[in-house]
Amino acid sequence: MAIYAIGDIQGCFDEFRALLDRIHFDPAGDRLWLVGDLVNRGPASLAVLRLVRDLGELATVVLGNHDLYLLMVAAGFRKRGKDDTLAAVLAAPDRESLLDWLARRPLMHVEDGFAMVHAGLAPQWSVPFARTLAGEVEGVLRSARRKGFLAQLHGNRPDQWEDRLKGQDRLRFIVNAMTRMRFCSAGGRLQFGAKGPPGSQPKGLLPWFDVPHRASRTHTIVCGHWSALGFRRELGLLALDSGCLWGGDLTAVRLDDGLVFREPARKSRLAP
């Protein structure tokens, strides 16, 4: 049995199917870890959702910011952006079952020294504490409180973690850190304006994984979200968004031995 961690798919169904062929994915024993952003901007989000849902327990998926955006749009709490490609999902006859399945995905997964999350972890958070915080969000998404949570999810505040945060502010910070973060201050204050590669950020900001004394260094963080960072592997970090959507690759890493597999994009669908 092998576990393959795969970067952001974002509706790139053809590349995803080809990557499964490239790794010789065996449903009889292999498992997939998907770092989130299954949907949006690519051409076939509906096909991706249906395939991953039908894989059942063979696929462990964490929620990304585009997945949550879909849930907010479907619930009527976000306007669709100009580069949104979610029309087929929103019009699908199995829309509600797909959306409910998506909303029940975890925000974070921890197993065998790895911690998978879409974007990253606030530097103050240990992996066990972050897993507890993720559970708070998951509990709301899987309950009758989902609609109210989605109605108030969009926003950048608060941008600094405090243990005393409560209610929607607490939940929004957890989601923003785990699904949207790239850079932050050494003290963990989130900054969402900078999206380029490390070195392009304003003075005083660091890539979240470079913050000194980051509490989650006990595990290898498996993540995506940051296409300008690209594939990056170093002690304690496995970043997998190699920009398939932008004409790069869809990347898989076999966690057992670290072997890397890349499936080139069929074409660049968007200008970066």
DSSP states of 55-81: TGGGEEE---HHHHHHHHHHTTSSPPP
Under 8 Å CB-to-CB from 206, ≥6 apart: which residues? 183, 184, 185, 186
How far from chain centre, in Å, is Cα 180?
Answer: 8
Indicate the SS3 state at residue 233: strand
Convert the pLDDT of each residue in 235-262 to its tens digit.
999 999 999 999 999 999 999 999 999 9
Cβ atoms of 9 and 48 within 8 Å: the answer is yes
- Please give the domain boundaries of the chain with CATH numbers for all domains: 3-264 (3.60.21.10)
Per-residue pLDDT reduced to its tens digit, 123-144 = 999 999 999 999 999 999 999 9
The pTM is what?
0.97
The mean of the pLDDT values for the chain is 96
**pLDDT tens digit string along 33-54?**
999 999 999 999 999 999 999 9
Q: Which two tokens stand for residue 210?
A: 């470079």
